[in-house]
Amino acid sequence: MPKVAVVTTGGTIASTRNGQGVSRPVVAGSDLLGSTRAGTEIRVVDVMSKDSSSMTFADMDRVRDTVTSELSDPDLDAVVVLHGTDTMEETAFLVDLHHADPRPVVFTGAQRTFDHPESDARANLTDAIAAGTNPALRGAGVLIAFGGALHRASGTRKADTTSLDAFRSVHPTGDLLPQRPDPLSWHPISGTRVDIVAAYPGADRVQIDACLAAGARGLVLDGLGSGNANPAIVEAVRDCTSAGIPVVVTTRVPHGPTSATYGGGGGGHDLISAGALFSTDLRAGQARILLAALLADPEHTDLDKEFDRRSRIDPAPRIS
């Protein structure tokens, strides 16, 4: 009989609604499992009960530590993590960056609360357990099972606020075996401040200066188009990089890679000239996690090389 650890953190999948229609995560892990126990030995590990919008780097470190601890059991086949959808992509990616074990870790959650008459909680949990115990997915790393689809954590983001298939991948996966870079050595990211700054028409350097004053060790610029801004932002980025504060450029556009091809004083080419790094496929949330993980590790000094390698998501071969 397969053996799976189910790590609970809260989220909509563990929530019920009160008389005013307000959802709160109050359902214990043992109550969530129900009939999904059939044919699988389940060990429930209740870690926290939070809306994922309230997750901090310290919380994400804790989830990662719990996954690693559970995988110390040699008889375990997989770990399933129940997580809110708002920040699932960040926590799953953090775990994936440091996941060296061939056994899969599968994140899932729900768009509808546990007590909703048409909740997707049970179906997503069943799919996640099935993925974790699928021998073909050994070595696949960290996955997100949601809405009947299976995504690798890297390059996946929440793309719809209400749809039951809320997540989208850089490259659609289905039953695909991810190609993954070597895992990073583990260093907690708690205490490593990395902020996200938005580019928009008429943006100035106020946000960037405020982040630096607050102690940011790195910044992610959520750029326009293929990774563009304006001359005022370029100048602020140059000041950051001159002071040893790395700036990673991504884009607010949902699909497509970044490209440092535009000039004109505020384009991607100008940002590169100012010392910025480009995140090819990762959007702002996961780019922030990667930058924090690299900054937390004193051995990683070549950030440009690491971002080029880890933010470029190649299509994965189909499982034979």
Please answer whether residues 319 and 177 qualify as being in contact, where contact means their C-beta atoms are separated by less than 8 angstroms: yes
Of 101, 83, 89, 71, residue with least CA distance to 15: 83
Handedness of CA 58, 61, 67, 69 (dihedral sign): negative
Single out the catalytic residue among 12, 40, 91, 251.
12
Is 12 labeled as catalytic in the residue annotation?
Answer: yes
Helices and strands of the chain, counted as H and E runs:
9, 14
DSSP state of 138: T
Phi-psi region of 166 (alpha: psi -120 to 50; beta: other; left: phi over 0): alpha
**Residue 142 main-chain phi, psi, to 5 deg:** -100, 130
Q: Which amino acid is it at 75?
A: D
Active site positions, annotated: 12
